[in-house]
Structure 1
Amino acid sequence: MKAIEITKPGVMQVVEREMPRLGKDDVLLKIKYVGFCGSDLSTFLGKNPMVQYPRIPGHEISAVIEAVGENVPADFQVGLGATVVPYTNCGHCTSCRKKRFNACRYNQTLGVQRDGAMTEYLAVPWQKILVDVALTDVQLALVEPLTVGFHAIDNAQVTDLDTVVVFGCGMIGSGAIVRAHLRGATVIAVDIDDSKLETAKKLGATHLINSKVQNLHEELEKLTHGNGPSVVIEAAGNPITYRAAIEEVAFAGKVVCIGYAAAEIAFPTKLWVQKEMEIMGSRNANPTDFEAVIKYLKNAGLDETLLISNIVSVDEAAGAMQKWSEDPGKILKILVRF
């Protein structure tokens, strides 16, 4: 079968791999679409410390059930559309014992610590399969990337009383904007790209700030009546936005960090103490986040083309990744069609 492989930094190619073996508890999936994630871009650029090469990327999955193992429950029928929870969890570490499986100490995500879904077929334990007949093939591929932003908003326990600032309106930030809007919060989207900000508005952002041409602090002061936002979501992974999150969040506010910054960041600890702020990380997503995204995609009437920058074939994937690496700020989501 065909597979897309990142052989080494800067080199992506189509290779032949053997068909996966179907275990008794496995579901064999015929892949329809797989999304390129920011982690895949980092792998391509040689900046992902969790990856060993060669690596098959991909964990944003749309597929159809091709076959099932003998121990798989009857709900998983051949021909049904499906997506995948792409993380492993050990069940024994401190995070797993608290039911926070997304932050398992020993997690291995498809396409990162282990080979991913950019293949024609993939065998997955049935416990990691989510079946939904109402979603289209394209929608199924958008479930996992949206869950990460949903999870960050859940971590912050956002309500309709909150004003939420989202730094970075890429795919992860878009998920946070959607979830905060669904919770009834006032959402302020911050980015340096006007097209992403316009998409953010369509997804539910109440206010838009282009921090490249507007004074971020002054705009936030006006929009929050001098109080600052009660919740800040850092989804850009930039030292500038990390520092801005600490500086702009309200007293007794919350900062939720999703993005990985390439460099170490120095923070003014005085603000930590004076504001008595909560600073938390947000990693991956839990099953309830997947359920919430699926419900949203079924009921919201979302035009998913808002979130998709390009759909390419397997043979076009390497070229699309190269273009993305040269201008990452313009891309929301690239889907590879199998």
Structure 2
Amino acid sequence: MAQTMLCGTCVSPGQFELTPAEMPQTAPEGWVLVDITAAGLCGTDYHIYEGKHPFLQYPRVIGHELSGRVAVSAGDWAAGVPVVINPYLSCGECRACQRGKPNCCTQIQVLGVHRDGGMCSRIAVPAGNLYAAGDLGPEAAAMVEFLAIGAHAVRRGEVAAGDRVLVTGAGPIGLGVALFAKARGAEVHLLDTTPARLEQARGLGFEHLLGAVAAGDGFDVVFDATGNGAAMEAGFAHVAHGGTYVLVSVVQGNITFSDPEFHKREMRLIGSRNATAEDFDTVMEALRTGVVSSKALLSERITLVDLPARLPVLAADRGSLIKAIVVMEAA
């Protein structure tokens, strides 16, 4: 008799249920079966629940911030090994992949978005998308992916010690950017219109907290993590002459800016998408050494069975939490 499992599924906008599915017992060649231990909830999951994701087909099993243990030995992976899952499945053949940029693969499929994710007991993942978690606990390991987005953006922005950095949007992604910019020795300022988010940033040790930006010489590197078109456009004015603007968030439609101001400042404009293995490694090392505290980022621990009741509440009040983690089994 086939073994079944429950999957956290957005059946349609506003409708989230635990749906039964057959637990996979085999994986395609080159793939590995992983028993999920924890899954983080992020803005993408909330957008899917709210029906705001532009490229999603329902029903969809959510979950892309994932940790687990290898279920069945395969290749170099032994059963029981704790792992972090990279949810970005790339084709390996397009120009971006050939140039070592699988994070922006032209055919990318993200677990929990383009295909069913890991809000369930077991999932099959390409072997190359697994990283040994070592002594990281399940909750910390489930935070690696969202933090890697911030680490990737900071690397893209070439933040250096002594830089004045502005991060606009103090949600989880923005906080990740801020943490890794600070780790590089930058003076980090955070801008957000939600006082609760600024207080969360204060609790993480940040001192330069802004509800608005005063006129001045600007910032060497500005990061936008707002997901708001007007805020993204306003950010151009905050970049110092010779500075860099990194767009971490994305919106539908066009972003416009003043070409004379752009050229006058010799500004660099950079897009930052997802993360690569290098960024996952950076985050895991930061968590292991205490540069980043997973305990400080954890807002709530939820069991899968409780998620249908909690998800609507969390989605309606995202400004009051940093990271909620859904636990699939006892840590």
- Letter paired with 1:300: G
Which structure's residues are more often strand, by fraction? 2
The structure 2 residue matched to 1:40, chosen from 36, 45, 69, is 45
Q: In 1, are the aligned partners of 2:197 and 2:319 still within 8 Å (CA)?
A: no
**Offset at 1:337?**
1.3
Partner of 2:111, secondary structure, is coil
Partner of 1:233, secondary structure, is strand
Q: In 1, are the aligned partners of 2:35 and 2:121 still within 8 Å (CA)?
A: yes
1:61 correspondence with 2:33 = no
- Letter paired with 1:18: E
- The match for 1:3 is 7
Q: In 2, are the aligned partners of 1:158 and 1:180 still within 8 Å (CA)?
A: yes
Looking at structure 1, the residues matched to 205 and 231 of structure 2 have their Cα atoms a distance apart, in angstroms, of 21
- Percent of matched pairs sharing the same residue: 33
- The match for 2:23 is 19
- Letter paired with 2:259: T
1:102 correspondence with 2:103 = yes
Partner of 1:33, secondary structure, is strand
- Letter paired with 1:101: P
Per-residue deviation, residues 183-231 of structure 1 (Å, max 9, x unmatched): 111100112233432332454534111x2xxxx232xx4xxxx310011
Looking at structure 1, the residues matched to 301 and 116 of structure 2 have their Cα atoms a distance apart, in angstroms, of 22
Partner of 2:165, secondary structure, is strand
Between 1:287-296 and 1:154-163, the stretch displaced more is 154-163
- The match for 1:255 is 245
The structure 2 residue matched to 1:217, chosen from 192, 213, 220, is 213
Per-residue deviation, residues 249-308 of structure 1 (Å, max 9, x unmatched): 111211111112356444333322222211111100010000000000000164423212
Where in structure 2 are the equivalents of 1:273-288 lying within 5 Å? 273-288=263-278
Residues 328, 263 of structure 1: CA spacing in aligned structure 2 closer, same or farther, 3 A cutoff?
A: farther
Looking at structure 2, the residues matched to 4 and 46 of structure 1 have their Cα atoms a distance apart, in angstroms, of 16
Q: In 1, are the aligned partners of 2:179 and 2:292 still within 8 Å (CA)?
A: no
- The match for 2:319 is 329
**Offset at 1:58?**
0.6
Q: In 2, are the aligned partners of 1:57 and 1:118 still within 8 Å (CA)?
A: yes
Between 1:125-134 and 1:20-29, the stretch displaced more is 20-29
**Offset at 1:133?**
2.1
**Offset at 1:63?**
0.8
Q: In 1, are the aligned partners of 2:245 and 2:268 still within 8 Å (CA)?
A: yes
Per-residue deviation, residues 86-122 of structure 1 (Å, max 9, x unmatched): 1112222221222111111111000011110011111
Q: In 1, are the aligned partners of 2:91 and 2:107 still within 8 Å (CA)?
A: yes
- The match for 1:79 is 80
Q: In 2, are the aligned partners of 1:6 and 1:57 still within 8 Å (CA)?
A: yes
Looking at structure 2, the residues matched to 168 and 301 of structure 1 have their Cα atoms a distance apart, in angstroms, of 21
Partner of 1:27, secondary structure, is strand
Between 1:50-59 and 1:293-302, the stretch displaced more is 293-302
- Letter paired with 2:51: G
- The match for 1:163 is 164
Per-residue deviation, residues 30-56 of structure 1 (Å, max 9, x unmatched): 111101121111111111112111100
Q: In 2, are the aligned partners of 1:88 and 1:108 still within 8 Å (CA)?
A: yes
**Offset at 1:123?**
1.4
- The match for 1:91 is 92
Between 1:130-139 and 1:107-116, the stretch displaced more is 130-139
- The match for 2:179 is 178
Q: In 2, are the aligned partners of 1:22 and 1:68 still within 8 Å (CA)?
A: no
Where in structure 2 are the equivalents of 1:80-159 lying within 5 Å? 80-159=81-160
1:300 correspondence with 2:263 = no
- Letter paired with 1:241: A
Q: In 1, are the aligned partners of 2:87 and 2:129 still within 8 Å (CA)?
A: yes
Partner of 2:170, secondary structure, is coil
Between 1:263-272 and 1:149-158, the stretch displaced more is 263-272
Q: In 2, are the aligned partners of 1:81 and 1:131 still within 8 Å (CA)?
A: yes
Residues 262, 309 of structure 1: CA spacing in aligned structure 2 closer, same or farther, 3 A cutoff?
A: farther
Q: TM-score, normalised on structure 2?
A: 0.92
Q: In 2, are the aligned partners of 1:165 and 1:229 still within 8 Å (CA)?
A: yes
Between 1:35-44 and 1:282-291, the stretch displaced more is 35-44
Looking at structure 1, the residues matched to 131 and 200 of structure 2 have their Cα atoms a distance apart, in angstroms, of 28
Looking at structure 2, the residues matched to 302 and 103 of structure 1 have their Cα atoms a distance apart, in angstroms, of 26
Looking at structure 2, the residues matched to 10 and 269 of structure 1 have their Cα atoms a distance apart, in angstroms, of 41
1:270 correspondence with 2:260 = yes
Q: Unpaired runs of 5+ in structure 1?
A: none
- The match for 2:36 is 31
Residues 229, 148 of structure 1: CA spacing in aligned structure 2 closer, same or farther, 3 A cutoff?
A: same
Between 1:2-11 and 1:324-333, the stretch displaced more is 324-333
Q: In 1, are the aligned partners of 2:196 and 2:319 still within 8 Å (CA)?
A: no
